[in-house]
Structures are given as structure tokens and as C-alpha cells.
């Protein structure tokens, strides 16, 4: 496998995810790379295989209309995936003939009346998303006269699959934000806590949510401009995630520990090249971005309890101790106050958060 070529393809996936027509560009690149007649990215309902989202290299709008209106219901590949999704998800990449033998496929309604118009014949599929209610896959097709996909091509697509998964998620999220905001800066602000870093982990750009997280969270830190973690062990894990990514390696997702007064964080670390992304190049005056990091709190923190629920600092501290499993007498001992005072604070906490007790409070704060 040509590692340099794989590296270039991965860069293209992430760079294209930030463009307005980015995912179409990714699919066109895959079509060329794998000598396919067409490539389709499809999200389907796992209950009935109905399409929820689709982008294809086929520009004929009637193809999409016909598929959405009728032919998805008789698509043997789609139904085969839904019926055996977990097995095929474990396999990663597989030929269409594993879903339905070619001889049967050539005689089915889907191919006779629809598929052969667009050379939907010899196919190769990878599942890039398998969730509770949906399945997302990318399908490559060649005509009946074309060659079968090789083992080497299957392995190459498997290497790209985790990057296609992350890239599509980024594309859909940013496309929605761009549609609402119209400008990169506004979309970047709406991402939640997000950082753009250079290859050494130094922050080139961050949004207001990220600034607030650095000021108040107690988990992340900035030292000489480099994004780090306040706990030494977590800082080593974070620094390792900023090492040059090997071709084919999956994007990093790591968890940093919190404490009594700070929630843990989940970080998604995606490699990107700013010079290949006009939005980044414009925003950063030509700086070359190496990573985009998004941070999500894994639980309640002191600051967000105060901001979201109007708790006093003392009430927020009591709430965090409560979520760690402490009872009123233990909280009183920890805070060097009386149990009666803690019970009074708990009543105020329940009133402000709109719950009727400890269990309901914990479930609400954990989003359950």
C-alpha cells in the first residue's frame, strides 16, 4: 500500500469536509482512486432501509428522486445491510456479492429497472457509521463489464473508512452551521469548545466556549501557548495525540479526567491542513493548521452549574459532591459545616433545578 498516496487521500478527506461542496469532492476523489463508475454516500433508517441522507457522484437529479421515491424499497443491498448490520459492520469492507449473489442481483427489479442505467453492478461497500437508528455506508460501483474490486482495493478502502466517518460528520455539522451563519467565524463559534492548533499543539485560534473552558474548567491549560492538561498523566496522553499521524491511523478521541470541581472532558482530535482549507487559511492569515480539537464536558462542572441553574458557589459545590455519591452528613463533614445547613442548601438546589430529590437531580445533570 502506497503510504504517501494514502496520506494524501486522508488530507483530502479532511480538507474537503470544510468546503461548501466538500463531500461531493471526496466522493469524486474516491471514484477516480478506485476506478469506479459511481460512488454514493448513504445514511439509511435501520428499521426499513429508507434513505435519510445521500450524496452521489451521479449528477442526474432524477436518479436521486427515483431512488428516494421508490427504488430504495427494492434495493437488495440496502435491505441486506439493515438485516445483517452488525455482522457487516465488523467486517468493515465487503463486495456487493456478499449481500446478494450477482446472478440474483442481475434479475431483481432494482437492477433491471434502475441500477443498470447508472452501472450499479459490481460493488464494494464500507459501513462508516452504525448507530441506534441509522446506518451510514459508502458504496462504489463498477459496470457489469468492469473488473471485480481487488483485495488490495478493499484494504485501501478499509484504511480510509475511519477518516471518511469523521470527515462526513464534520462536513454535515459545518454545512448546517454554515447554512445558518454564512461565515466561518460564526460557524466556528457555534461548534462548542473548539481549538485550531499547529503541529506542536500551540493554539492558533479558539472560540469563546474554548476560552471559557480554559478559564473555568480546571482540566485544560495553556502553557507557552500550547494546549495541555492540568494533570500530568493526562497531559502526556494529550501531547502524544499531537504526534504526526501515521497514514491510515484513526483520528484520536481521548478522555481527560476531572475532579470534584470540574467535569471530565472528551476531546476529538482531527488532523487538518489549513493551507488546503480556504476557510482556515483566511481566518488564520495563511497559518498552517495541524489539528482541530473539540472538547465536550462529560458531566457537570462548578461553573456550568452556577451559569445554567443560578446556583451559588456553595450550592454548586454541594451539588458536585452529591453527584459523587456523598450523603448530606458526608457533605457537611467535607465542607466543615452542619448537616442542617447542607439540607437547607439541598432544598434550594432542588427548587432551582426543578427536581424533587437527589436521584432526579443526578439524572438531570447527567442528561438521562
**3-state class of 347 per DSSP?**
helix
* Tens digits of residue pLDDT in 72-95: 899 999 888 888 888 888 888 999
pLDDT on residue 38: 94
Q: Does domain 184-298 have CATH number 3.30.457?
A: no
Identical fold for domains 3-180 and 304-365, yes or no, is no
Give the global pTM.
Answer: 0.57
Q: Does domain 304-365 have CATH number 1.10.10.10?
A: yes
| Domain segments of the chain as ranges | 3-180, 184-298, 304-365
Mean of pLDDT values over 295-316? 78
Closest alpha carbon to 6 in 138, 164, 240, 146: 164
Distances, alpha carbon 292 to alpha carbons 21, 27, 37, 43, 320, in Å: 20, 22, 33, 25, 30
**Packing angle between helix 328-335 and helix 313-323, nearest 10 degrees?**
130
In CATH, what number does 3-180 get?
3.30.450.80
Going by pLDDT thresholds of 50, 70 and 90, the confidence category of residue 281 is low
Residue 41 CA to residue 54 CA, distance in Å, equals 6
* Tens digits of residue pLDDT in 191-245: 788 998 887 788 888 888 888 888 776 788 888 888 988 888 888 888 888 877 6
* Tens digits of residue pLDDT in 37-60: 999 999 888 887 888 888 899 988
Q: What is the mean pLDDT of the chain?
A: 83
Give the DSSP per-residue string, 111-157: HHHTGGGGT--EEEEEEEEE-SSEEEEEEEEE-TTSPPPPHHHHHHH
Dihedral-angle region of residue 309 (phi above 0 means left; psi in -120 to 50 means alpha; beta otherwise): alpha
Residue 352 CA to residue 279 CA, distance in Å, equals 42
Beta bridge partners of 269: 252, 293
* Tens digits of residue pLDDT in 130-169: 887 888 999 999 999 999 999 999 999 999 999 998 888 8
More confident residue, 329 or 283: 329
Mean of pLDDT values over 301-314? 78
Amino acid at each position: 500500500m502506497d503510504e504517501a498516496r494514502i496520506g494524501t487521500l486522508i488530507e483530502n478527506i479532511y480538507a474537503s469536509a470544510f468546503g461548501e461542496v466538500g463531500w461531493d469532492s471526496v466522493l469524486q476523489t474516491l471514484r477516480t482512486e478506485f476506478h469506479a463508475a459511481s460512488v454514493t454516500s448513504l445514511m439509511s433508517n435501520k428499521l426499513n432501509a429508507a434513505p435519510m441522507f445521500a450524496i452521489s457522484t451521479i449528477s442526474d437529479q432524477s436518479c436521486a428522486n427515483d431512488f428516494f421515491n421508490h427504488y430504495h424499497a427494492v434495493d437488495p443491498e440496502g435491505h441486506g445491510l439493515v438485516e445483517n448490520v452488525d455482522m457487516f459492520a465488523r467486517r468493515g469492507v465487503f463486495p456487493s456479492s456478499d449481500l446478494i449473489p450477482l446472478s440474483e442481483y442481475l434479475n431483481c427489479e432494482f437492477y433491471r429497472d434502475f441500477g443498470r442505467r447508472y452501472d450499479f453492478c459490481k460493488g464494494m461497500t464500507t459501513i462508516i457509521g452504525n448507530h441506534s437508528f441509522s446506518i451510514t455506508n459508502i458504496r462504489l460501483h463498477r459496470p457489469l463489464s468492469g473488473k471485480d474490486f481487488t483485495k488490495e482495493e478493499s484494504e485501501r478502502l478499509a484504511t480510509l473508512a475511519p477518516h471518511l466517518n469523521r470527515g462526513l460528520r464534520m462536513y454535515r455539522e459545518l454545512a448546517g452551521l454554515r447554512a445558518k451563519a454564512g461565515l466561518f467565524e460564526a460557524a466556528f463559534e457555534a461548534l462548542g469548545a473548539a481549538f485550531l492548533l499547529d503541529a506542536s499543539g500551540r493554539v492558533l485560534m479558539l472560540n469563546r466556549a474554548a476560552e471559557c473552558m480554559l478559564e473555568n474548567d480546571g482540566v485544560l491549560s495553556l502553557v507557552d501557548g500550547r494546549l495541555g492538561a492540568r494533570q500530568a498523566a493526562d497531559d502526556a496522553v494529550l501531547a502524544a495525540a499531537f504526534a504526526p499521524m501515521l497514514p491510515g491511523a484513526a483520528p484520536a478521541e481521548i478522555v481527560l479526567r476531572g475532579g470534584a470541581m470540574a467535569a471530565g472532558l472528551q476531546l476529538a482530535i482531527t488532523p487538518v491542513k489549513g493551507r488546503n482549507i480556504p476557510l482556515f487559511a483566511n481566518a488564520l492569515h495563511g497559518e498552517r493548521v495541524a489539528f482541530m480539537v473539540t472538547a465536550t464536558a462529560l458531566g457537570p462542572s462548578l461553573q456550568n452549574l452556577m451559569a445554567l441553574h443560578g446556583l451559588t458557589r456553595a450550592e454548586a459545590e454541594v451539588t458536585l459532591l452529591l453527584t459523587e455519591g456523598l450523603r448530606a452528613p458526608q457533605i457537611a463533614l467535607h465542607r466543615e459545616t452542619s448537616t442542617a445547613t447542607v439540607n437547607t442548601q439541598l432544598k434550594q438546589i432542588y427548587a432551582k433545578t426543578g427536581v424533587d430529590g437527589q436521584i432526579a437531580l443526578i439524572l438531570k445533570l447527567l442528561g438521562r
